[in-house]
Structure 1
Amino acid sequence: MEQGGIYVKKLLSVLFISLLVFSLAACGGTNQETAGEAETSSKYPEKPITIVAPSGAGGGWDLTARAIAKVVGETKLVDQNITVENKPGGGGAVFLAEYATQDTKNPYKLFVSSPPILINHSKKEGNSPFGYQDTTPLAQLTKDYGAIVVNADSPFTDLNSLLEAIKNDPTKITAAGGSSPGSMDHLVAILPSFKFGVDPKQVKYVSYDGGGEAIAALLGGNADFIATDASAVGEYVKAGKVRVLAVSSTERLSGDLADVPTFKEAGVDADFTIWRGLFGPKEMSEAELAFWQGKLDELSTNETWLQELQANGWESEYKNAADFKVFLEKQDEVITELLTALDMQK
């Protein structure tokens, strides 16, 4: 009986040791798998990257996306090739609907955006069910301003004369912009009229896919004035093709638009800042987010990038991923208040 008891104790000991060894092996395997996953994530990026401009060529998104790709390529900040793809439609809403449903885990497709990502989600007409919450904000990179632009031979020589004409008969004046009704260009176009005492809903607005098409419409006589990015009109000003009546900045700009008054100088108590930033898919891994955080931090102070900003007439305004997200939350409130004032909120 005693020998049987000893045998049972030995058997239990063997079983215990076997279980212990198995458990340790399993833990080791888990650690190895985790290490393997981390190693895989750390290899990002392993193939070319696309930056999407959700508009046609020539507008602020397109120029910003191409500037990022150009500088990152020239400075070898990222080893992989970066290409730019234009996907116009709905002031960015068409692309975002596709991106937020089909590319949620694709870290090889990033995109540039600005206030329309907030406006499209908050406006009443043509509302987008998707917003910045369906992405991973990576960084704010620049800020720009809106501009009210007329053809060089336009009878309107200043903002006040244009606003008086709109007030006298809104049906005779056509505004245009490179984004859909209720979006950024539209808000910039009607903001002076609204502050001038005109019902913004009476102002005729025609939308085009991108600032380049809007400028073409102006030059072709299909619009009396356009609202577009201040940085996008410099070359047309130098060529003598257009006249900028006012810009939405709080202070006068430099360069080609140095002589252009601000809205406030022109008698309109308003201003509007057009920030631009880079976004990634909603389900980016921590390693992928950390990669871009580091690279964009470097880009923001890179001399080649700062020269590119100056060449395009942009101002540097850098916010990292965390600060950018907080900023977007506050901007969302501001946009909603503006749309509410215009009776255009959802």
Structure 2
Amino acid sequence: MRKMATVFLSGVLALGLAACGGTKEQAATKNERASEYPEKPITMVAPSGAGGGWDKTARSITKVLAETKLVDQTMTVENKPGGGGTVFLAEYATQDKKNSYKLFVNSPPILINHDKKEGNSPYGYGDTTPLAQLTTDYGAIVVKADSPYKDLKSALEAIKANPAKVTVAGGSAPGSMDHLVAILPAYKYGIDPKSVKYVSYDGGGEAMAALLGGNADLIATDASSVGEYLKAGKIRVLAISAKERLSGDLKDVPTFKEQGADADFTIWRGVFGPKEMTADTKQYWEEKLKALSEHEAWKKELQANGWESEYKNAADFKKFLGEQDKVVKELLSALGMEK
């Protein structure tokens, strides 16, 4: 009996050890599998046409991550224009919610498009995983170099006198970011925002082409995207939406407030992943994007594009988005555009 008991106990111990070994082996395999990410090329989506702020941001991020070898896998940029980002987000939130090999850049439109009444998107930042905020930019009101409008006040007076005669364009849909940047100073100047003749294009590059081609009298766009046109003498920047004047090429451009329109608007930009991104993959991108924000190569890219650095990690970025969402809702409500 004693011998049988010994054999039985030995068997139990063997099974227990085998089970422990199996658990450790499974855990090791799982950790190894998680550590292998990324195993294939990664796509960074700019939900707009080429030439705008999202496009430039996506290309700068992928360029620096590759050059610094922070990410070993190939990274490509894909432009997905349509509806100021709503077309892409609808597809992403439903078809790519587990696809950690596709990330995207965005800014206030991810909030605005979800909160506005007209052309409302059922999807918002809650249908994604916010990974990091990287930059801050501002809006700019721009005209052709030979425009009769020499400052913001003269343009606003023309709109006030006859709104139908002044075409304002932007690279996003009505009620979206460029539209808000365009009508904010008008609203603060005492003009009915609904009377402003606004024409939308898919991306800042197309809006700029419309301006230079004579199809718009002025455009609202990202301040960081106008440098090359300004240096080439093709445009005049009437005003910026910052609280204070900027440095660099736009140092002489007055703010909205300086010209009688008591308003300002910040354009943050950040990186988002799919809603059902795994914890390990989220941590991977948090580490990579933080390292990117601190790298000298990124700081040079910021300077070259006229962007200001403002890094927030995933937790802080998500909290910030919640706060910004309240601001956007208040703004849209004041303009009669909240859903």
- Correspondence 1:228 to 2:237: no
Q: What fraction of aligned residue pairs are identical, expressed as a percent?
A: 73
More off after superposition, 207-216 vs 293-302: 293-302
Aligned partner of 1:177 in structure 2 is 170
2:86 counterpart (93, 100, 104): 93
Give 1:173 deviation, angstroms: 1.1
Give the Cα–Cα distance (whole angstroms) in 2 for the partners of residues 231 and 304 of structure 1: 18
Amino acid at match of 2:27: T
- Correspondence 1:271 to 2:277: no
Give the Cα–Cα distance (whole angstroms) in 2 for the partners of residues 86 and 191 of structure 1: 28
2:197 counterpart (181, 204, 212): 204
Give 1:33 deviation, angstroms: 1.6
Question: Structure 1 unaligned runs (5+)?
Answer: 1-6
2:28 counterpart (35, 50, 53): 35
Aligned partner of 1:115 in structure 2 is 108
Give the Cα–Cα distance (whole angstroms) in 1 for the partners of residues 212 and 3 of structure 2: 95
Give the Cα–Cα distance (whole angstroms) in 1 for the partners of residues 11 and 127 of structure 2: 49
Give 1:17 deviation, angstroms: 6.3
Give the Cα–Cα distance (whole angstroms) in 1 for the partners of residues 14 and 325 of structure 2: 56
Give 1:258 deviation, angstroms: 1.1
Give the Cα–Cα distance (whole angstroms) in 1 for the partners of residues 285 and 209 of structure 2: 36
- Correspondence 1:46 to 2:39: yes
Partner of 2:304: helix, strand, or coil? helix
Partner of 2:258: helix, strand, or coil? coil
Taking only aligned residues, the RMSD between alpha carbons, in angstroms, comes to 1.6
- Give the total of aligned pairs: 339
Give the Cα–Cα distance (whole angstroms) in 2 for the partners of residues 133 and 255 of structure 1: 36
Amino acid at match of 1:126: G
1:131 counterpart (124, 127, 132): 124
Question: Given the two structures, how large is their TM-score scaled by the length of structure 2?
Answer: 0.96
Amino acid at match of 1:292: W
Give the Cα–Cα distance (whole angstroms) in 1 for the partners of residues 228 and 131 of structure 2: 30
Aligned positions of 1:166-315 closer than 5 A: 166-315=159-308
Aligned partner of 1:25 in structure 2 is 18
Which has the greater radius of gyration? Answer: 1
- Correspondence 1:323 to 2:316: yes
Amino acid at match of 2:206: E
Question: Structure 2 unaligned runs (5+)?
Answer: none
Amino acid at match of 1:339: L
Partner of 1:128: helix, strand, or coil? coil
More off after superposition, 307-316 vs 292-301: 292-301
Give 1:22 deviation, angstroms: 3.7
Partner of 2:259: helix, strand, or coil? coil
Partner of 1:265: helix, strand, or coil? helix
Question: Given the two structures, how large is their TM-score scaled by the length of structure 1?
Answer: 0.94
More off after superposition, 139-148 vs 21-30: 21-30
